[in-house]
Protein backbone atom coordinates (compact mmCIF):
# COMPACT_ATOMS: atom_id res chain seq x y z
CA UNK A 1 0.00 0.00 0.00
CA UNK A 2 1.45 3.35 -1.04
CA UNK A 3 1.86 5.98 1.65
CA UNK A 4 0.24 9.40 1.46
CA UNK A 5 3.14 10.79 3.48
CA UNK A 6 6.55 11.16 1.88
CA UNK A 7 9.66 10.24 3.86
CA UNK A 8 10.78 13.85 3.39
CA UNK A 9 7.69 15.01 5.30
CA UNK A 10 8.40 12.57 8.12
CA UNK A 11 12.05 13.64 8.23
CA UNK A 12 11.10 17.32 8.54
CA UNK A 13 8.80 16.48 11.46
CA UNK A 14 11.52 14.36 13.11
CA UNK A 15 14.11 17.13 12.82
CA UNK A 16 11.64 19.73 14.13
CA UNK A 17 10.88 17.49 17.11
CA UNK A 18 14.57 16.78 17.82
CA UNK A 19 15.41 20.50 17.59
CA UNK A 20 12.57 21.29 19.98
CA UNK A 21 13.84 19.19 22.88
CA UNK A 22 16.94 19.76 24.97
CA UNK A 23 17.56 16.02 25.20
CA UNK A 24 21.31 16.32 25.81
CA UNK A 25 20.60 17.64 29.30
CA UNK A 26 18.24 14.80 30.22
CA UNK A 27 19.43 11.96 32.40
CA UNK A 28 17.28 9.51 30.45
CA UNK A 29 16.57 8.71 26.82
CA UNK A 30 13.21 10.21 25.87
CA UNK A 31 10.80 7.94 24.04
CA UNK A 32 9.25 9.13 20.79
CA UNK A 33 5.59 8.29 20.47
CA UNK A 34 3.40 8.42 17.39
CA UNK A 35 -0.01 9.73 18.38
CA UNK A 36 -2.92 8.84 16.12
CA UNK A 37 -6.37 10.37 15.86
CA UNK A 38 -8.99 8.32 13.99
CA UNK A 39 -12.22 9.32 12.30
CA UNK A 40 -15.23 7.62 10.71
CA UNK A 41 -14.98 4.82 13.25
CA UNK A 42 -17.52 3.72 15.84
CA UNK A 43 -15.80 1.59 18.50
CA UNK A 44 -19.19 0.32 19.66
CA UNK A 45 -20.32 -0.91 16.23
CA UNK A 46 -17.24 -1.36 14.05
CA UNK A 47 -14.96 -4.34 14.46
CA UNK A 48 -12.04 -3.41 16.70
CA UNK A 49 -8.66 -4.02 15.13
CA UNK A 50 -5.43 -5.22 16.67
CA UNK A 51 -2.06 -5.73 15.04
CA UNK A 52 1.59 -6.14 16.04
CA UNK A 53 4.54 -4.96 13.95
CA UNK A 54 8.24 -5.70 14.38
CA UNK A 55 10.19 -2.51 13.68
CA UNK A 56 13.66 -2.66 12.08
CA UNK A 57 15.12 -0.59 14.94
CA UNK A 58 14.32 -1.23 18.63
CA UNK A 59 12.29 1.81 19.80
CA UNK A 60 12.99 1.44 23.54
CA UNK A 61 16.15 -0.32 24.69
CA UNK A 62 15.00 -0.49 28.30
CA UNK A 63 11.99 -2.70 27.63
CA UNK A 64 11.94 -5.50 30.18
CA UNK A 65 11.36 -9.13 29.20
CA UNK A 66 10.97 -12.16 31.47
CA UNK A 67 11.16 -15.85 30.63
CA UNK A 68 8.58 -18.29 31.96
CA UNK A 69 10.60 -21.36 31.22
CA UNK A 70 11.37 -25.02 31.52
CA UNK A 71 14.73 -26.19 32.86
CA UNK A 72 16.54 -25.63 29.54
CA UNK A 73 15.33 -22.06 29.10
CA UNK A 74 15.91 -21.25 32.77
CA UNK A 75 19.57 -22.21 32.36
CA UNK A 76 19.85 -20.16 29.14
CA UNK A 77 18.21 -17.16 30.81
CA UNK A 78 20.49 -17.38 33.85
CA UNK A 79 23.62 -17.46 31.68
CA UNK A 80 22.37 -14.44 29.71
CA UNK A 81 21.35 -12.55 32.89
CA UNK A 82 17.66 -12.50 31.88
CA UNK A 83 14.91 -12.58 34.53
CA UNK A 84 13.27 -16.00 34.52
CA UNK A 85 10.62 -17.96 36.41
CA UNK A 86 9.90 -21.68 36.48
CA UNK A 87 6.63 -23.50 37.11
CA UNK A 88 7.36 -23.70 40.86
CA UNK A 89 7.95 -19.92 40.98
CA UNK A 90 4.62 -19.25 39.26
CA UNK A 91 2.74 -21.60 41.60
CA UNK A 92 3.92 -19.47 44.54
CA UNK A 93 1.68 -16.64 43.28
CA UNK A 94 -1.23 -18.89 44.27
CA UNK A 95 -3.48 -17.19 41.66
CA UNK A 96 -3.61 -14.02 43.75
CA UNK A 97 -4.95 -11.36 41.40
CA UNK A 98 -3.15 -8.37 42.96
CA UNK A 99 0.19 -10.18 43.09
CA UNK A 100 -0.09 -11.32 39.47
CA UNK A 101 -1.17 -7.83 38.37
CA UNK A 102 1.90 -6.34 40.06
CA UNK A 103 4.05 -9.04 38.43
CA UNK A 104 2.65 -8.23 34.96
CA UNK A 105 3.46 -4.52 35.41
CA UNK A 106 7.08 -5.32 36.15
CA UNK A 107 7.72 -6.43 32.54
CA UNK A 108 6.81 -5.22 29.07
CA UNK A 109 6.75 -8.73 27.56
CA UNK A 110 6.85 -12.35 28.63
CA UNK A 111 8.25 -15.35 26.77
CA UNK A 112 7.22 -18.90 27.64
CA UNK A 113 8.73 -22.26 26.74
CA UNK A 114 6.57 -24.31 24.38
CA UNK A 115 6.52 -27.12 26.95
CA UNK A 116 4.80 -25.03 29.64
CA UNK A 117 2.87 -22.28 27.84
CA UNK A 118 -0.42 -24.22 27.93
CA UNK A 119 -0.10 -24.64 31.70
CA UNK A 120 0.20 -20.91 32.42
CA UNK A 121 -3.54 -20.03 32.42
CA UNK A 122 -4.18 -22.92 34.82
CA UNK A 123 -1.36 -21.83 37.16
CA UNK A 124 -1.78 -18.02 37.01
CA UNK A 125 -5.39 -17.62 35.96
CA UNK A 126 -6.37 -14.92 33.41
CA UNK A 127 -4.20 -12.13 34.89
CA UNK A 128 -1.53 -11.91 32.19
CA UNK A 129 -4.12 -12.18 29.43
CA UNK A 130 -6.21 -9.36 30.94
CA UNK A 131 -3.09 -7.19 31.11
CA UNK A 132 -2.48 -7.84 27.40
CA UNK A 133 0.76 -9.62 28.26
CA UNK A 134 0.08 -13.29 27.65
CA UNK A 135 3.49 -14.87 26.96
CA UNK A 136 4.84 -15.29 23.46
CA UNK A 137 6.08 -18.72 22.50
CA UNK A 138 9.79 -19.56 22.43
CA UNK A 139 11.19 -22.94 21.36
CA UNK A 140 14.53 -24.60 22.10
CA UNK A 141 15.58 -24.20 18.48
CA UNK A 142 15.43 -20.39 18.76
CA UNK A 143 18.23 -18.18 20.04
CA UNK A 144 16.88 -16.63 23.23
CA UNK A 145 18.78 -13.32 22.96
CA UNK A 146 17.78 -12.87 19.30
CA UNK A 147 14.15 -13.65 20.15
CA UNK A 148 14.19 -11.03 22.92
CA UNK A 149 15.64 -8.38 20.59
CA UNK A 150 12.89 -9.15 18.07
CA UNK A 151 10.23 -8.78 20.76
CA UNK A 152 11.72 -5.52 22.00
CA UNK A 153 11.12 -4.12 18.52
CA UNK A 154 7.38 -4.95 18.61
CA UNK A 155 4.75 -2.23 18.62
CA UNK A 156 1.02 -2.84 18.88
CA UNK A 157 -1.94 -0.92 17.49
CA UNK A 158 -5.25 -1.77 19.09
CA UNK A 159 -8.58 0.02 18.91
CA UNK A 160 -10.36 0.08 22.26
CA UNK A 161 -13.06 2.49 23.40
CA UNK A 162 -11.60 5.76 22.14
CA UNK A 163 -10.42 7.05 18.76
CA UNK A 164 -6.94 7.95 19.98
CA UNK A 165 -3.98 5.57 19.73
CA UNK A 166 -0.32 5.76 20.60
CA UNK A 167 2.77 3.68 19.92
CA UNK A 168 6.45 4.06 20.76
CA UNK A 169 8.32 4.33 17.46
CA UNK A 170 11.80 5.31 18.67
CA UNK A 171 13.87 7.27 21.13
CA UNK A 172 15.64 10.59 21.07
CA UNK A 173 19.13 9.05 20.72
CA UNK A 174 18.33 7.30 17.44
CA UNK A 175 19.48 8.75 14.13
CA UNK A 176 16.90 10.60 12.04
CA UNK A 177 17.28 7.91 9.33
CA UNK A 178 16.35 5.12 11.74
CA UNK A 179 13.45 7.14 13.12
CA UNK A 180 12.08 7.88 9.64
CA UNK A 181 12.34 4.18 8.72
CA UNK A 182 10.47 3.10 11.87
CA UNK A 183 7.80 5.77 11.55
CA UNK A 184 7.15 5.16 7.85
CA UNK A 185 6.67 1.42 8.41
CA UNK A 186 4.48 2.03 11.47
CA UNK A 187 2.20 4.42 9.56
CA UNK A 188 1.73 2.08 6.61
CA UNK A 189 1.07 -0.88 8.91
CA UNK A 190 -1.51 1.08 10.90
CA UNK A 191 -3.29 2.19 7.72
CA UNK A 192 -3.45 -1.43 6.53
CA UNK A 193 -5.37 -2.33 9.72
CA UNK A 194 -8.05 0.32 9.22
CA UNK A 195 -11.40 -0.41 7.60
CA UNK A 196 -11.15 2.48 5.13
CA UNK A 197 -7.38 2.89 5.25
CA UNK A 198 -6.36 6.57 4.97
CA UNK A 199 -9.99 7.73 5.16
CA UNK A 200 -9.93 6.69 8.82
CA UNK A 201 -6.85 8.80 9.69
CA UNK A 202 -7.73 12.17 11.22
CA UNK A 203 -4.27 13.18 12.45
CA UNK A 204 -0.75 11.91 13.09
CA UNK A 205 1.66 13.54 15.53
CA UNK A 206 5.12 12.77 16.86
CA UNK A 207 5.98 13.59 20.46
CA UNK A 208 9.03 13.03 22.61
CA UNK A 209 8.50 12.40 26.33
CA UNK A 210 9.31 15.99 27.33
CA UNK A 211 8.66 17.73 24.02
CA UNK A 212 5.70 19.27 22.22
CA UNK A 213 3.68 17.34 19.61
CA UNK A 214 4.71 17.84 15.96
CA UNK A 215 2.07 17.19 13.34
CA UNK A 216 2.94 15.07 10.32
CA UNK A 217 -0.59 14.57 8.94
pLDDT tens, position by position, 72-92:
999 999 999 999 999 999 999
d(CA 3, CA 217): 12
Three-state DSSP class for 11? helix
Query: Across residues 152-176, what is the average pLDDT?
Result: 90
CB contact set of 42 (below 8 Å; sequence gap of 6+): none
Which one, of 63, 1, 62, 17, lies nearest residue 204 by Cα?
17
pTM (global) more than 0.75 = yes
**Cβ–Cβ < 8 Å for 111, 72:** no
Question: Does pLDDT of 131 surpass 80?
Answer: yes
- Residue 40 to residues 51, 198, 200, Cα–Cα distance (Å): 19, 11, 6
φ, ψ for residue 185, nearest 5 deg: -65, -40
Amino acid sequence: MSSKILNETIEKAVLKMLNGTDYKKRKFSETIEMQIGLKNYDPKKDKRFSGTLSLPNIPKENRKVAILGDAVHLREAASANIDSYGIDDLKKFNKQKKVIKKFSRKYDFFLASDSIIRSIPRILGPGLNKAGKFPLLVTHSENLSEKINTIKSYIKFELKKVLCLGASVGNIKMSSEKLVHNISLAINFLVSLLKKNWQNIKSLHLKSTMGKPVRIY
